[in-house]
Amino acid sequence: MQNYLRTNMMSLFFSGCSITWGDELKDRLNERYSTLVSKHYGCNHLNISQCGVSNDYIVRNTIKYLEKINPDMVVIQFTVNQRIEYFNENANIEQWTPQTIQSKKQRNYYTQIYNDILGVENLWKNVFLFDAYCKSVGQKYVSIIGDHYEYTLRRPEKFWENKIGYWKDMCKDFTPGFLHMDLLGDLTTHPHHYANGSKGGHPSAEAHKLIADYFIKLIDAI
């Protein structure tokens, strides 16, 4: 991070989950969209993305970094709704996701407490929080929601069931872009956009080029 801070070049800051980290790419550091966007502008960048993290983590950790650095532009990728941060009895933070149940407590949460509306509301709460923070400090940013294809494309009625929800209604100035619905498409029609083809997986190298072009257009418009 020291080299990132010392440069006089334009600075870009990327944050997200395994998508922005570049999971399943053959040449992750060169093929992921954060590198492609930075090369387009001929500038420096910092990518703090982590695999398997929640929107709670992404927003909290991004703000933590922004309290210390002042990039010209933040590129934030929100992740799937089902993940949460859980603060346990020892004040440690656990990243919970239904794909990797590791305890009875987690299983009980996802089978007895969690529902799709709760997940969507938590997403919009984090969107609102981050937008409000950036406005308060004058930080420019662009974003995309990393909606999961199984959730939004195969069950779109579930995703939009809470279209006018409590937190989404507070995000009136926020116009979201959705990774799979707007860019990558379905597995059956666009298998080349996925690392494992028709079996899905993370975005392919070709898909990262699409994501990079998407963000370049957003940045140029600001």
- With a CB cutoff of 8 Å and minimum separation 6, the contacts of 81 are 55, 116, 119, 120, 122, 123, 151
Total structural domains within the chain: 1
Give CA–CA dist 66/50, Å, rounded.
17
- Give the single-character DSSP code of 196: T
- Which residues, listed in sequence order, are joined to residue 145 by a DSSP beta bridge? 78, 178
Give the model's pLDDT for residue 11: 95
Whats the size of the chain, residue-wise?
222
Q: Please give the model's pTM, rounded to 2 decimal places.
A: 0.89
Give CA–CA dist 169/166, Å, rounded.
6
Give CA–CA dist 179/159, Å, rounded.
14
> Digits of tens for pLDDT over the chain (222 positions)?
544 554 567 899 999 999 999 999 999 999 999 999 999 999 999 999 999 999 999 999 999 999 999 999 999 999 988 899 999 999 899 999 888 888 999 999 999 999 877 888 898 899 999 999 999 999 999 999 987 655 544 454 555 554 556 787 788 777 778 898 788 887 888 899 998 887 778 999 999 999 999 999 999 999
Give CA–CA dist 128/149, Å, rounded.
23
Nearest to 131 by CA among 145, 117, 152, 119: 145
Give the distance from CA 211 to its chain's centroid. 12
Provide the residue range defining the domain that includes 7.
2-221
Give the model's pLDDT for residue 57: 97
CATH number at 127 reads: 3.40.50.1110
Give the model's pLDDT for residue 154: 46
